[in-house]
Chains A and B, each alone.
Chain A
Amino acid sequence: MEKEGKAKGKWLFFWIGVIASLLLGWAAFPKLIYFKKDQPVRFSHLKHGEEASLTCEDCHSFRGDGSFSGIPDLAKCLECHESAIGSSKAEADFIKLAEKLKKENKNIPWLIYSKQPDNVFFSHAAHIKMAKLECSACHKSVGGRTEKNPPYRFKWISGYAPEVMSMKTCETCHEKKGISNACFVCHK
């Protein structure tokens, strides 16, 4: 009996170690590696899409030279929001900020969830116009069914947001579609 108990005791600390580190690695660590920042403006895709019935292309469009506008500049926002729409606090805050930025000739410092790393070149024209992908094929959370844009999360070591595509994502899709995976196809 005594022998058995001792044997059990022997393994107990091992298992405590295993469980504790698994908990740390699987549950705590993924949360610990992120920092959070609030977006400079409270913005809702839901409101713009459903209540104002705008389409994606109304704000995110291709320019004359074929490049993609990405996040619209302040002037685009002000086309509608020249003066406050409604009386919410968020709207008032936005108008105040917009006036300040307009004076300084700056744009809203949006924190871009899916901004790709600087060592790759990504062309929206190639993916939308030529490969005919839906926006949501990559921007999975867009249309985000929330009243408020979620805070911007990024890993404090690498500085990347979780929405940033990994090289594997790109490669897998390219392979499926028969597109070359040579380095220079994506990398600058």
Chain B
Amino acid sequence: MQGKDKMAIDRRDFLKFVVGGAVGTVLSPLPWVSMDEVAKWTQRWAPIPENGGTSYVHSTCKLCPGGCGIRIRLINQKRAVKIDGNPNHPVNRGGMCPLGLAGLQYLYQEDIRVKSPLKRIGARGKGQWKPISREEALLEVTTRLKEFRQKDLSHTVAFLDGEGEGSQAYLAARFLKAYGSPNYIRPFQLGDLEEILTQTIHGIRARVAYDLPRAQYVLSFGSALLDGWGNPAWVAQAFQGWRQDHRQGKVKLIQIDTMATTTASLADEWIAIKPGTEGILALGMAQVILEKGWYNKDSVRSKTSGLDGLQVLLNKNYTPDQVAGSTDVNKETIHKLARDFSSAQHPVALWGKGKGELPVSLFEAQAVHLLNLLAGSINRPGGVYLQPGVSYASWPKMPLDGTAQKGLAQPRLDGALSSNYPKTGHLTGRFFANAVQKKPYPINVLFINEANPVFSIDEKEVLRAIDQIPFIVSFSPFMDETASLADLILPSPTFLERWDDSYPSLGVPFPVYGLTKPVLPPLHDTLSMGEAILHIAKNLGGTVEEALPFKNMEGVLKQSAKGLYDSRKGRLTNEPLAEKGKGISASFESFDKFWEQLVAQGTWYHAENRGEEGKGRWDLSSFIRRSGEPETAETQAQYPFWMVPQSLLLLQSGYLANPPFLTKSLGKETLIKNMLVVQMHPNTAGSLSLREGDGVVISSMKKKIRARIHLFEGARPDCVFVPLGLGHKAFDPTLKNRGSNPYPMLDTVVDPATGLEVGWATRVKIKKA
């Protein structure tokens, strides 16, 4: 019995064994390592892209007309992981703006891209689409175009092209001409106004480019130099140069602005002007300069005409006393500015408010340009260079058939280039207004590329126009506000997936040609606008096909590049900078070799080619037709404040929607959660019994928006500052329905000199919400 007892394992023994096992286990690494392992296992739940070899490809950024040289880092030659500046590029020299750095988000952000051609099946704007094949989509477009051509209605086909520059835009314009419509229209760009300005004064159609790196006295009339005006990388590097030790104190930046913007706060002096009176201040300075004889006499006497007449006008209407009264800039400051500007080495005055999103009046542009003329800064180092327009001389001559000639004889719907506005190339606002009225004829087909008029122009009018247009084709890569109202979307690839070019480089005083190429295979079923146009032209046949004798976009770009090669001038980026003056002829024995290198390096430029003199004497007599002033005493009483749009580097205000990286970086003075933040002076807020963070309703004559207020001593007391670029009703959740869009509130006036709808500051009233 006893032996048996010893051998038997009873319940107690078993429990002891289990307890012992537990104690032992706790003292061993098993539970701890297992827990650690499980924790590490969870780290691998996130999707991990395939690793692989790194390579770099050169291309040109197409996110703005700046045309910066970029270098894209690729893994396995197909996954882009970083966009950098090309260090050898003559404009951005390795630098990049935040938008360019965030550029990959346009490529990879799945929820904003249109992934295949789409045909609308529900009512407009309901978001019901049917994916169709490219062939079907192109056929549908061609069928319609054929029909209107047969009915002699070719002029009722219009094209709104926000790219507006470069070979692809030239191709689209040429297509429309060959097809027989005068209605190739692009949304406003500062360049349009520059071309009008140079025509009125210098007798040539040219762009105005500022030699900022060598300028020594920079007088900016509201240009947001450090918030995205011009080419941001070029301007930022010029600014860095001004602030280098050996130039410290020698270069002055004077910012004339209604608020202490980024630029104003980094300037040597900030002049808080009354909104909309920049041109008047410039003329006040001009009056002082002429009266005191501080102008550059050699230059002005030998190159200009009409000086006496101008002086009479200025003495009558723009004496410092008069100007001080209307601008809120006192007499002494006007005197000081005039003296400093005219006595400085390499002075330059800039116009174009904010980033240049909205037109200023020709009056303002001319007034500021006059300062440059008086200082003798035209086509001089550190001054203003007149850059002649783009020439595509090497493209073949274009045949026009009878239908096309008939169509082209019709007036343009927007009234640009007509007897009223002979020098204005495009009037987008008027185009939509006339499309609503069907004046003088209705529009049957509208192509839209790189433009989002529903967001950036008067929303109501555009929507009404869209209602009147039976067939709208969008080339947008993204489902933006306008694309979502189209009948057919033929999505373009992004700039990292297509052949394109950038020419000229915005605001750079020498010619730069940037080539954009597909750096990785297209992610979706897309076709670039240029390729689509080539297909459609082929389907239409006849003279339309003959006008575009290209197999594909690469062929188109080769044709443009041929012009550069044949000029035997300039050089490519990777040739060392030291070899100045050595032309392209020295480097390449054939066009094919040149093309091969252009594709590899991405950029051609001709740094020595600066400035064009213009025709005859520079005409000062055309000064100065003022824009109409809508402001009456009555509106002032009802709407006591100015709403001033605010351009921000981290907020895209044009066709492109802000990428998530940038929206995330917006401060609490711009956006809090989904609420727009506007800035005003504490005293102004006090007079309205408002405190920091209070909700307000801001109403202009056209529309009202809700916002919260942020108090800022650097804001002019009679103004409220509203950021431009928020309030989208499309795109991804980081942007959609966040903030409010001030564009539809802007109260614009037609500038009688140009027909452009001018409006920056707008009269508003503010109420506590």
Question: Which of B20, B30, B41 contacts A13 (CB under 8 A)?
Answer: B20
Residues of A within 8 A of B14 (CB): 13
B22 at the binding interface (Cβ < 8 Å): yes
Q: Which residue of A lies closest to B30 (CB)?
A: A25
* B interface footprint on A22-45 (CB within 8 Å = 1, 0 otherwise): 101110011001000000000000
Once A21-B21, A21-B22, A65-B56 are accepted as A-B contacts, the answer to whether A10 and B16 lie under 8 Å apart by CB is yes
Question: Which of B2, B23, B28 contacts A17 (CB under 8 A)?
Answer: B23
Chain A min CB distance to B57 (Å): 13
Residue contact A17 to B33, C-beta cutoff 8 Å: no
Residue contact A11 to B16, C-beta cutoff 8 Å: yes
Residue contact B17 to A16, C-beta cutoff 8 Å: yes
Count the A residues whose beta carbon is within 8 Å of the partner chain — how many? Answer: 35
Question: Which of B28, B44, B46 contacts A29 (CB under 8 A)?
Answer: B28
Q: Which residue of B lies closest to A17 (CB)?
A: B20
Once A65-B56, A118-B44, A157-B38 are accepted as A-B contacts, the answer to whether A24 and B16 lie under 8 Å apart by CB is no
Question: Which of B2, B23, B37 contacts A157 (CB under 8 A)?
Answer: B37
Residue contact B48 to A118, C-beta cutoff 8 Å: yes
A22 vs B29: C-alpha distance in the bound complex, in angstroms? 9
Q: Which residue of B lies closest to A106 (CB)?
A: B52
* A interface footprint on B35-66 (CB within 8 Å = 1, 0 otherwise): 01110110110101000111010000000000
Q: Which residue of A lies closest to B23 (CB)?
A: A18
Residue contact A17 to B24, C-beta cutoff 8 Å: yes
Residues of A within 8 A of B36 (CB): 158
A154 vs B37: C-alpha distance in the bound complex, in angstroms? 11
Q: Which residue of B lies closest to A119 (CB)?
A: B43
Chain A min CB distance to B167 (Å): 31
- Chain A CB within 10 Å — which of B24, B25, B34 has the most? B24
Residue contact B20 to A25, C-beta cutoff 8 Å: no
Once A18-B23, A22-B24, A25-B24 are accepted as A-B contacts, the answer to whether A9 and B6 lie under 8 Å apart by CB is yes
A107 vs B50: C-alpha distance in the bound complex, in angstroms? 13
Question: Which of B2, B20, B29, B56 contacts A26 (CB under 8 A)?
Answer: B29
A21 vs B41: C-alpha distance in the bound complex, in angstroms? 25
A67 at the binding interface (Cβ < 8 Å): yes
Chain A min CB distance to B17 (Å): 4
Provide the main secondary structure of the chain B interface: helix
Once A26-B29, A67-B54 are accepted as A-B contacts, the answer to whether A158 and B17 lie under 8 Å apart by CB is no
Residues of B within 8 A of A171 (CB): none
Once A10-B12, A21-B25, A24-B28 are accepted as A-B contacts, the answer to whether A15 and B20 lie under 8 Å apart by CB is yes
Residues of B within 8 A of A122 (CB): none
A11 vs B24: C-alpha distance in the bound complex, in angstroms? 14
Residue contact A160 to B29, C-beta cutoff 8 Å: no
Residues of B within 8 A of A65 (CB): 54, 56
Residue contact A22 to B27, C-beta cutoff 8 Å: yes
A117 at the binding interface (Cβ < 8 Å): yes
A151 at the binding interface (Cβ < 8 Å): no
Residues of A within 8 A of B37 (CB): 33, 155, 157-158
B123 at the binding interface (Cβ < 8 Å): no
A126 at the binding interface (Cβ < 8 Å): no
B245 at the binding interface (Cβ < 8 Å): no
Q: Which residue of B lies closest to A11 (CB)?
A: B16
Q: Which residue of B lies closest to A5 (CB)?
A: B6
Once A14-B19, A16-B20 are accepted as A-B contacts, the answer to whether A25 and B25 lie under 8 Å apart by CB is yes
Provide the main secondary structure of the chain A interface: helix
Residue contact A21 to B56, C-beta cutoff 8 Å: no
Chain B min CB distance to A171 (Å): 15
A10 vs B19: C-alpha distance in the bound complex, in angstroms? 12
Q: Which residue of A lies closest to B5 (CB)?
A: A6
A24 vs B26: C-alpha distance in the bound complex, in angstroms? 11
Q: Which residue of B lies closest to A120 (CB)?
A: B43
Chain A min CB distance to B361 (Å): 49
Residue contact B41 to A26, C-beta cutoff 8 Å: no
A68 vs B19: C-alpha distance in the bound complex, in angstroms? 53
A25 vs B735: C-alpha distance in the bound complex, in angstroms? 54
A20 at the binding interface (Cβ < 8 Å): yes
B18 at the binding interface (Cβ < 8 Å): yes
Chain A min CB distance to B27 (Å): 6
Residues of A within 8 A of B633 (CB): none
Chain B min CB distance to A21 (Å): 3
Q: Which residue of A lies closest to B21 (CB)?
A: A17
Residues of A within 8 A of B17 (CB): 13-14, 16-17
Once A13-B13, A160-B40 are accepted as A-B contacts, the answer to whether A25 and B19 lie under 8 Å apart by CB is no
A19 vs B53: C-alpha distance in the bound complex, in angstroms? 51
Once A5-B6, A9-B6 are accepted as A-B contacts, the answer to whether A18 and B24 lie under 8 Å apart by CB is yes
Chain A min CB distance to B212 (Å): 30
Residue contact A107 to B53, C-beta cutoff 8 Å: yes
Residue contact A14 to B20, C-beta cutoff 8 Å: yes
Residues of B within 8 A of A21 (CB): 20-25, 28, 30
A73 at the binding interface (Cβ < 8 Å): yes
B9 at the binding interface (Cβ < 8 Å): yes
- Chain B CB within 10 Å — which of A21, A67, A157 has the most? A21
Q: Which residue of A lies closest to B29 (CB)?
A: A25
Residues of A within 8 A of B46 (CB): 118-119
Q: Which residue of A lies closest to B42 (CB)?
A: A158
A159 vs B53: C-alpha distance in the bound complex, in angstroms? 23
A29 vs B207: C-alpha distance in the bound complex, in angstroms? 76
Residue contact A24 to B30, C-beta cutoff 8 Å: yes
Chain A min CB distance to B468 (Å): 51
Chain B min CB distance to A74 (Å): 10
A20 vs B20: C-alpha distance in the bound complex, in angstroms? 9
Residue contact A33 to B33, C-beta cutoff 8 Å: yes
Chain B min CB distance to A120 (Å): 10
- Chain A CB within 10 Å — which of B21, B29, B52 has the most? B21
Q: Which residue of B lies closest to A15 (CB)?
A: B20
A26 vs B20: C-alpha distance in the bound complex, in angstroms? 15
* B interface footprint on A64-94 (CB within 8 Å = 1, 0 otherwise): 0101000001000000000000000000000
A2 vs B46: C-alpha distance in the bound complex, in angstroms? 63
A13 vs B16: C-alpha distance in the bound complex, in angstroms? 6
Chain B min CB distance to A82 (Å): 20
A118 vs B48: C-alpha distance in the bound complex, in angstroms? 7
List residues 521-553 of chain B with CB under 8 A from any CB of chain A. Answer: none
- Chain B CB within 10 Å — which of A17, A30, A157, A159 has the most? A17
Q: Which residue of A lies closest to B38 (CB)?
A: A157
Q: Which residue of B lies closest to A9 (CB)?
A: B6
* A interface footprint on B314-347 (CB within 8 Å = 1, 0 otherwise): 0000000000000000000000000000000000
Residue contact B28 to A73, C-beta cutoff 8 Å: no
Q: Which residue of A lies closest to B73 (CB)?
A: A65
Residue contact B27 to A25, C-beta cutoff 8 Å: yes
A158 vs B27: C-alpha distance in the bound complex, in angstroms? 22
Residue contact B20 to A29, C-beta cutoff 8 Å: no
Q: Which residue of B lies closest to A75 (CB)?
A: B53
Residues of A within 8 A of B54 (CB): 63, 65, 67
A5 vs B43: C-alpha distance in the bound complex, in angstroms? 53
Residues of B within 8 A of A9 (CB): 6, 13
Q: Which residue of A lies closest to B18 (CB)?
A: A17
Residues of A within 8 A of B19 (CB): 14, 17
Residues of A within 8 A of B29 (CB): 25-26, 29-30
- Besides A16-B20, A25-B29, 13 other CB < 8 A contacts? A14-B20, A17-B18, A17-B19, A17-B23, A18-B23, A20-B20, A20-B24, A21-B20, A22-B27, A29-B29, A67-B54, A155-B40, A158-B36
A-B residue pairs in contact (CB < 8 Å), sample of 22: A5-B6, A9-B13, A11-B16, A13-B13, A13-B14, A13-B20, A14-B17, A17-B18, A17-B23, A21-B20, A21-B22, A21-B24, A25-B28, A25-B30, A26-B28, A63-B54, A65-B56, A107-B53, A118-B48, A119-B46, A157-B37, A159-B40
The list of the 4 closest CB pairs from A to B, nearest first, reads: A25-B28, A17-B20, A21-B24, A158-B40
